[in-house]
Amino acid sequence: MPSPTPIPTEFSAVTDLWGDAIPAWLGAIGSIAAAVVAAIAIILSIRNRGGLRTLTQAAGDRGAAADFGGSDSSNDGAARVSWVAWQEQRARYRLRNDSRVATAELLSFEDVTPDGDGAASTAVSMPLTLQPMGSIPFTIEKSLVSPAVTAIALDWIENGERKSTTIYI
């Protein structure tokens, strides 16, 4: 009688490439990607909360009539300086005296964002006279943890009177 085939006592260490290894690697890569996306979402949430805090504080400081459009647009019938800021490129912006007739002597440009990192700056030396529709360049170098909204305080002299405002970008 032939002898029976022996039953193996240990299993072979051969890995099934498509059944075990590839799905395991895909699972690991997916887990890492999910962790990275979650971390970015948390950072952006903190950043947006900082922007909301900036706007809430500004509304409390200026009352219910706060203007967040990037300009000081009050008008009492006289020629007044108003400020407009806009983005030209990624981190480069421009600030303009939006008046058609009033000249302003810009005394200071300061980033006053609460809990901010001083991201807004200009290389222009102050004081500087800005003619109507004249503008200056500035930058806002934000990081992932910078607040979403940047507050910039401006001081200027118009018709011999010192004035100030804060614009929100």
pTM for the predicted model, two decimal places = 0.61
**Domain-located, residue 1:** no
Q: Looking at per-residue confidence, does 48 or 100 come out higher? A: 100
Q: Provide the domain count of the chain.
A: 1
Residue 55 placed within a domain: yes
* Residue 150 is assigned to a structural domain of this protein: yes
Per-residue pLDDT tens digits for 13-55 = 556 777 777 888 888 999 999 999 888 888 777 666 666 666 6
Q: How confident is the model at residue 56 (pLDDT cuts 50, 70, 90)?
A: low
Residue 7 lies in a domain: no
Rounded CA-CA distance 134/41 in Å is 40
pLDDT of residue 48: 66
106 in any annotated domain = yes
* Average pLDDT of the segment spanning 156-162: 91
Domain that holds residue 130: 15-169
Q: Tell me what pLDDT residue 142 has.
A: 83
Higher pLDDT among residues 58 and 24, named by residue: 24
Angle subtended at Cα 61 by Cα 168 and Cα 53, rounded to the nearest 5 degrees: 55
**Is 158 inside a domain boundary?**
yes
Mean pLDDT of 80-93: 91
Give the mean pLDDT of 89-98. Answer: 92
Inside any domain, residue 122? yes
Q: Does any domain span residue 10? A: no
Single out the residue of 133, 126, 71 nearest to residue 103, CA to CA. 133
Mean pLDDT across the chain: 79
- Of the ranges 79-88, 110-119, 136-145, which one carries the lowest mean pLDDT score? 110-119
Determine the Cα angle at 96 with ends 124 and 68, to 5°: 115
